[in-house]
Amino acid sequence: MNITILGTGNMARGIGTRLVAGGNSLTLLSRDPEEGAGLAAELQAAARTGATVQALPLGSPLRDDVLILAVPYTAQAEIIKQYYVQLPGKILVNITNPLNATYDGLATPPGSSDAEEVARMAPAGTRVVKAFNTTFARTLVTGQVAGQSLDVFIAGDDATAKATISQLVEAGG
């Protein structure tokens, strides 16, 4: 499968490592071309079974049906707005934990969640899935902790979208 990761930070590295281990091809969208190219080269070296990795500038058109929103909570609204017309029909994977500036609470409104906020910002027809928010980037790169495979919790309202993400997670170990 072809997947786009919006962002090139530590979580993009971790999730990207698992995705290419599962034989998936990636497009990385980055604000920093050098950072994007560096991560693309790193992930390409780890890719299996013909998977490819390319880096493009943030703002490039979205070509894939699965998008991983690997940006900080504070950047999500801007990215969703930028790609708003391209999101319907896509699976948008939200990975963030919306901690406030002092890290002692959540930045989301009471009675809501980050995934619900993303779903409200995204246009109708965008299938929002929450995943990867309970795993650390470093453990995603290695694929295990103390010899045990990782658990990735997946939540969302669309059963088909959740099944797609579950297949990607399983394929990546």
Res 97: pLDDT:
84
Query: Regarding predicted confidence, which is higher, 163 or 106?
Result: 163
Average pLDDT over residues 65-82: 95
Choose the weakest-confidence range: 36-40, 75-79, 107-111, 150-154: 107-111
Q: Which pLDDT band, with edges at 50, 70 and 90, does 8 fall under?
A: very high
CATH architecture label of 2-171: 3-Layer(aba) Sandwich (3.40)
Question: Is the pLDDT assigned to residue 173 strictly greater than 90?
Answer: no
More confident residue, 57 or 147: 57
The percent of residues above 90 in pLDDT, for the chain, comes to 72
Is residue 59 predicted with pLDDT exceeding 90? Answer: yes
Q: What one-character DSSP code corresponds to residue 72?
A: -
CA 3 to chain CA centroid, nearest Å: 9
Token pair 């786009």 in the structure block, residue:
4
SS3 41: helix
- DSSP assignment string, 110-148: TT--HHHHHHHHSPTT-EEEEESTTS-HHHHHHTEETTE
Question: Tokens 């991983």 correspond to what residue?
Answer: 68
Rounded to two decimals, the pTM is 0.93
Per cent of the chain over pLDDT 70 is: 100
Residue range 93-127, pLDDT digits in tens: 999 988 888 888 888 888 888 888 999 999 999 99
Structural domain boundaries of the chain? 2-171
